[in-house]
Amino acid sequence: MTDRRRFLVLSASALALAACSEKSSSGGGNELRIGMDLTYPPFEMQDKAGNPDGVGVKIAEALAAKLGRPLKIVPMQFSGLIPALQTGNIDLILSSMTATDERRKSIDFTDPYAFTGLAILVQKDSDIQSIDDLKKPGLSLTAKTATTAQIWITDHLPSAKLVVFEDEASCVMEVAQGRADAFIYDQLSIYRYSKENAGTTRGLLKPFVEESWALGVAKGNDALREEVNAFIKGFRDEGGFEKLGAQYLQDEKKFLESEGIPFIIR
């Protein structure tokens, strides 16, 4: 290779490295890939045009803007979120996921951004009044797959017949049509489904287990976890969570306040 050709090759390599360095430092091209199950309104859902929308989506948008990285929302079933994070197909999970000790064996969590609990949906004329009534033998229960409700039932109600589904709408239908005695899920969802199916169901809305939601981070990715924690604190201090509650959860906020229960995102 002549000196001139060698110089040109080295110059091109130097320019490419400089461009990559500049691109990396500005965040351009360094997508923030956030996994979500977009079947959980009003937190993670799709609008009429099929675009991601909801409380979780707006949090993701604000986070990506704060970090100076373009956002890529990666839709998938809830049960696939942790495997996708472990294999590096996504950078974060933001999908109304409860931070549990069991999940901490597989992934890390940020500080919580929401606080909720498990509640119960039963048939309208059911004599079930509390979680204690679900300890009776011979009951049929339903839960969404890979949720804390499924885990709680398995751990605490081993005598119950448990049927799980990938979507909560199927769980609601099981109760509404009398095939299941109860559906256990988070408080706000039970509230919403009991309103939508008022003729056939009712909600036992006082949580019997308290939970918190956080973002999932791959084990050992402490730098990203600390960045997200700083964002959560700043977003909370700036009233960001309060604004999202007013935008997406007006009815739920009124209900919780009437029951003397603190609002979920705070």
Q: How confident is the model at residue 53 (pLDDT cuts 50, 70, 90)?
A: very high
Cα of 113 vs its chain's centroid, Å? 10
Show the domain range for 175: 117-211
Which pLDDT score is estimated for 18? 38
- Total domains present in the chain: 2
Q: How confident is the model at residue 12 (pLDDT cuts 50, 70, 90)?
A: very low
Whether 10 and 70 have beta carbons less than 8 Å apart is answered as no
- Please tell me whether residues 71 and 121 are part of one structural domain: no
Q: How confident is the model at residue 39 (pLDDT cuts 50, 70, 90)?
A: very high
What span, in angstroms and rounded, lies between the C-alpha atoms of 16 and 14?
A: 5
Reading phi first (left if > 0) and then psi (alpha if -120 to 50, else beta), residue 62 is in alpha
Q: Is residue 36 part of a domain?
A: yes
Q: Is residue 12 part of a domain?
A: no
Q: Is residue 3 part of a domain?
A: no
Which pLDDT score is estimated for 206? 87
- Please tell me whether residues 55 and 72 are part of one structural domain: yes
Q: Is residue 7 part of a domain?
A: no
pLDDT tens, position by position, 76-108: 999 999 999 999 999 999 999 999 999 999 999
Which pLDDT score is estimated for 260? 80
- Please tell me whether residues 89 and 130 are part of one structural domain: no
Point out the domain boundary residue: 211, 227, 245.
211
What is the overall mean pLDDT for the chain? Answer: 89
Q: Is residue 176 part of a domain?
A: yes
- Please tell me whether residues 104 and 218 are part of one structural domain: yes
- Please tell me whether residues 51 and 108 are part of one structural domain: yes
Q: What is the mean pLDDT of residues 71-76?
A: 98
- Please tell me whether residues 123 and 200 are part of one structural domain: yes
- Please tell me whether residues 184 and 222 are part of one structural domain: no
Q: What is the mean pLDDT of residues 2-26?
A: 37
Q: What is the mean pLDDT of residues 61-70?
A: 98
Point out the domain boundary residue: 192, 211, 230.
211
Q: Is residue 9 part of a domain?
A: no
- Please tell me whether residues 125 and 104 are part of one structural domain: no
pTM, whole model, 2 decimals?
Answer: 0.79
Q: What is the mean pLDDT of residues 115-140?
A: 96
Q: Which two tokens stand for residue 97?
A: 């996921």
Whether 203 and 196 have beta carbons less than 8 Å apart is answered as no
Point out the domain boundary residue: 172, 191, 211.
211
- Please tell me whether residues 166 and 47 are part of one structural domain: no
Q: Is residue 15 part of a domain?
A: no
Which pLDDT score is estimated for 29? 59
Q: Which CATH number does the domain housing residue 185 bear?
A: 3.40.190.10
- Please tell me whether residues 125 and 251 are part of one structural domain: no
What span, in angstroms and rounded, lies between the C-alpha atoms of 138 and 220?
A: 44
Q: What is the mean pLDDT of residues 128-144?
A: 96
Q: What is the mean pLDDT of residues 137-145?
A: 96
Angle at 172 between CA 123 and CA 125, to 5 degrees: 5
Whether 175 and 122 have beta carbons less than 8 Å apart is answered as yes
